[in-house]
Amino acid sequence: MITRSSGIVLHISSLPNPYGIGTFGGSAYAFVDFLKQSNQKYWQILPLVPTGFGDSPYQSCSANALNPYFIDLDALRRDGLLEFDKYAYVDFGQDLDYVDYGTLYEARYKVLRMAFDENGRGKYKEDIDKFRGDNSDWLPDFALFMAVKSHFGMVALSEWPDADIRKRKAAALKKYRETLADEIEFQEFLQYLCMKQWFDLKKYANENGVRIIGDMPIYCAEDSAEVWANPELFKLGPDGSPKVVAGVPPDLFSATGQLWGNPIYDWKRHEKTGFEWWINRMKHAGKLYDVVRIDHFRGIESYWEVPAGEPTAEKGKWVKGPAMKLMNAIFTAVPDIDIIAEDLGILSDEVVEFLKETGLPGMKLLVDAFDNPGYESGFLPHNIIQNCVAYTSTHDSPTFSDYFHNKASADARGYMMNYMRLREDEGINWGVIKSAWGSPAVLAMTPMQDVLNLGADARMNLPATLGGRNWQWRVRGEALNEHVSEILRYITKTYWR
């Protein structure tokens, strides 16, 4: 249960690390120490799944697997799986401020393969056998999917040249399980290491009073093990391609809407199974995290459905989702899980009523609270209800500093300065953090970028865009210092979080 408290949003990839990307290693443990010293009770991360199209963790090849990039190489050395000189001088990307996914892709798996071939193949055999059994609802299909994908040069599922394995014909499944047995074993090995290192880190966080908030994308990617292994659970055509895809309609932020392209669930089929797939997914998430934030939660009540092949999201329609049927099934099967509902955007009365019926906390975003000084927004701190999570900004929004200095009107900036009653020696970051921390919200969260008062260069993602710096930002180790910790600790104590 969430009680009045606060925390910081920082994805694993954004942690400092000399090997190209943040991992489950030493800097993650150091960040837990930083949170503890700052009196923070929550650490929120983005999805831990492998990144996919556009390097996004919201377009992954799996809804359950973890990203092998997060495996700590120094831990493999300590476990006798790697020699230091096999990875210490490899180019994983030279930029300490941004992840270089292209360079990482070329180098990381070669090093992990060395660990598997030289010592890892037999070292954890019994443990991996047990791990395989404990995760039998997703791991075998995922490992085979990735082995076949690798065999075909990592092309998308829709482009696999062998139609029989694409359609999961029995003979083809048997053939590839036999011919690709070594690669399948390697994929299982990677997932075992990921889970082992993650659960060690989570245990350390929990022992130090820090709970983990994980993020669950509502949809699966078309090029994913889930769509391949469970085609009947999605609205697909005879050739396995989506008949309709997900997105959001045109609004104030986009004249053509957002076309995400994810296949849409066949909710009638899910209901016939008692929502078994979703229950298994939530049980898995409940093991990985202490709290689960479901992204685009409103899509469970009603979702925007666009015919496949449309160039934009404009010609879609609203379709009713399973709403409380799904949520009641989850609440019954996984009664102890804490859930945060991402309910941002333009909401219908039905969605508002649905969220109220679930009893789940939604989100209030302060970066959207001050745009119109003449209008008393429901996102203003004094209007925020208790059963919600107040965020200064999110991974999809500008940082608060960027918003304040570059996007807000002069009237909005003046109103914010007056509202937050900033001292001359304070940055806008501490003003908005104090506003969130002082609100009635049961939980207040801020991205690390806002703690450090960083601007546009530190933005995590610009929705509906590819390229640029999306998903790449990293924090410098020296930024997680005692001075910053002391201020956070003071604010947190002041507002009884």
As annotated, the active-site residues are 295, 342, 396
Tokens of 433: 């953090």
Q: CA 130 to CA 223: how far, in whole Å?
A: 28
In whole angstroms, what is the distance from residue 243 CA to residue 12 CA? 35
- The torsion angle over the Cα atoms of residues 451, 452, 455 and 460, rounded to 10 degrees, is -70
Is the Cβ–Cβ distance between 237 and 245 less than 8 Å? Answer: no
* Residue 265 DSSP SS3: strand
Q: Which two tokens stand for residue 272?
A: 């016939």
- Sequence letter at residue 218: I
C-alpha span between 256 and 314 (Å, rounded): 5
C-alpha closest to that of 450 among 383, 388, 384, 404: 404
* Dist CA 287 CA 96 (whole Å): 32
CA distance 115 to 150: 18
Q: Which residues have C-beta within 8 Å of that of residue 343, sequence separation ≥ 6?
A: 297, 298, 351, 355, 362, 363
Residues 6+ apart with CB under 8 A from 61: 49, 50, 52, 142, 145, 146, 149, 221, 223, 224, 225
Distance (Å, rounded) from C-alpha 370 to C-alpha 408?
A: 8
